[in-house]
Amino acid sequence: MESEKCLEALLTRRSIRRFKPDDVPLDLVLKAVDVARFAPSARNGQPWELVVVRDKERREKLSKIHPWARYAAEAPVAIVVLSDTRRAPDSYMIDGSLVAMYLWLALHCLGLGAVWLHTVPVADTVRRIIGAPDHLFPVALFAVGYPDERPAARPRREVRDIVHLESFGSKLE
């Protein structure tokens, strides 16, 4: 694999919160999902389900789950990532987050922009809006569209601040 290209994809992904009005073909979204399904999961359980919402009324409902979710109405597509608490009782949140992250990166590689919108504190509301049963936990909601901004990277903690050598507390020089 060309490592620079691979790293570039990881390093250039951003949360996109301004979208062009252009519609996103469903095929393109499905292409991203086709890649996202290669995310790892505990015991390869793949406990995820993805609800693609293009309907404006339903996106508007999703955009009101909290004040920072308004992008769901401003982008042409919203995607809810659900994870099955019955199939993966001890890993549904992790597995669901992994497929969500793969999806985000795949969308980015396909020229689409997305922002992850928090769902955890409002899981019941999200379930109700999309008609999902109680055992499916909404791990993430994405607003997806063609980017209309190129935000700079947000600040990140330094390597030396986050790495501990051999045991917790021994920091790099």
Ligand X SMILES: Cc1cc2nc3c(=O)[nH]c(=O)nc-3n(C[C@H](O)[C@H](O)[C@H](O)COP(=O)(O)O)c2cc1C
Nearest Cα neighbor of 90 from 54, 122, 43, 50 is 43
Q: Which of 19, 102, 116, 137 binds ligand X (CB under 6 A)?
A: 116
Half-sphere exposure of 148 (CA within 13 A, CB side): 13
CB of 158 to ligand X, least distance (A): 16
At 133, list the tokens: 């049963």
- CA distances to 63, 65, 165 from 126, rounded to whole Å, are 10, 7, 41
Is 24 or 143 the residue whose CB approaches ligand X more closely? 143
Identify which range of 9-17, 28-36, 56-64, 163-171 contacts ligand X by CB under 6 A.
Answer: 9-17
Q: Residue 128, interface with ligand X (CB under 6 A)?
A: no
| Dihedral of alpha carbons 77, 113, 123, 121, sign | negative
The interface region with ligand X, picked from 11-19, 42-50, 80-88, 106-114 by CB under 6 A, is 11-19
Segment near ligand X (CB under 6 A); pick from 22-30, 115-123, 129-137, 161-169 = 115-123
Which CB, 150 or 164, lies closer to ligand X?
Answer: 150
Nearest to 71 by CA among 130, 142, 124: 142
3-class state of residue 7 by DSSP: helix
- Minimum Å distance from CB 145 to ligand X? 14
Q: Which residues bind ligand X (CB under 6 A)?
A: 14-15, 17, 68-69, 115-118, 154
